[in-house]
């Protein structure tokens, strides 16, 4: 199976698209809802954000052309499972085009096996998102290739050849799409 590990913020949406909300959050006009001990406050603030349909359509086209299945690696995922994450994402009209390709989500670092996590932390380029992705890869033997699309670069060193970094101001653009189209067309 070929997997696409997909972030949402900075990929399917952008700072430019969500600037009014993010400014209000930064200025304290609205709250992120974080409570002591709460590891998923970000999930609650996503109800204010948008998903750009044109960006989702570009990702869907990559999935269709190259056979990728999507594993959500975004902070938009819920720890209680993919079902709750899917229920949450159904509220966003832009994400529905990606639903047929969605097969899983990474485990949050707080719930990860400690032995595997300690092994990932030995990496010279350790990052939490990269550890979460590596944990998914290590526990799913049927992965033949993968691509990571994210605006943050907190990946492990062995993942860098599979990593495509977007600009969080613009999110996933047509230029990004063309770059990946060329890369995977040459690869096929």
Half-sphere CA count of 89, side-chain side, radius 13 A: 28
What does the pLDDT read at residue 160?
95
Q: What is the pLDDT of residue 47?
A: 47
Q: How many CB atoms lie within 10 A of CB 179?
A: 12
| C-alpha to C-alpha distance for 143 and 151, rounded to whole angstroms | 23
pLDDT at residue 17 in the model: 67
Predicted pLDDT of residue 29: 61
**Structural domain boundaries of the chain?**
2-187
Alpha-carbon span 127 to 165, nearest angstrom: 14
Quote the DSSP letter at residue 167: B
Q: What pLDDT score does 90 carry?
A: 78
The pLDDT value recorded for residue 39 is 40
Average pLDDT, consecutive stretches of 10 residues, N- to C-terminus, the chain (188 residues): 94 74 63 47 50 92 96 83 79 84 90 83 83 94 96 93 93 95 78
Q: What is the pLDDT of residue 1?
A: 95
Return the ∠ at Cα 16 (arms to 182 and 99), rounded to 5°. 60
DSSP summary character for residue 73: -
Q: Compute φ and ψ for 75, nearest 5 degrees.
A: -70, -5
Ranges assigned E (strand) in 42-120: 68-72, 102-105
Distant-in-sequence, close-in-space partners of 25: CB < 8 Å, separation ≥ 6: 32, 45
For 104, what's the count of Cα atoms within 13 Å in the CB-facing half-sphere?
Answer: 19
């Amino acid at each position: 199976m070929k997997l696409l590990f997909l972030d949402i913020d900075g990929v399917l949406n952008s700072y430019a698209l969500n600037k009014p909300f993010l400014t209000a959050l930064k200025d304290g006009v609205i709250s992120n809802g974080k409570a002591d001990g709460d590891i998923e406050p970000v999930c609650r603030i996503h109800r204010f954000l948008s998903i750009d349909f044109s960006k989702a359509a570009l990702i869907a086209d990559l999935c269709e052309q190259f056979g990728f299945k999507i594993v959500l690696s975004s902070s938009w995922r819920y720890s209680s499972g993919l079902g709750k994450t899917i229920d949450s994402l159904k509220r966003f009209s832009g994400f529905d085009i990606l639903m047929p390709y969605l097969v899983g989500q990474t485990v949050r670092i707080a719930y990860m096996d400690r032995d595997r996590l300690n092994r990932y932390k030995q990496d010279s380029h350790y990052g939490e998102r990269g550890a979460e992705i590596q944990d998914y890869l290590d526990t799913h033997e049927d992965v033949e290739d993968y691509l990571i699309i994210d605006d943050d670069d907190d990946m492990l060193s062995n993942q860098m050849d599979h990593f495509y970094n977007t600009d969080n101001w613009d999110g996933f653009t047509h230029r990004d799409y063309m770059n990946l189209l060329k890369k995977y067309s040459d690869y096929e």
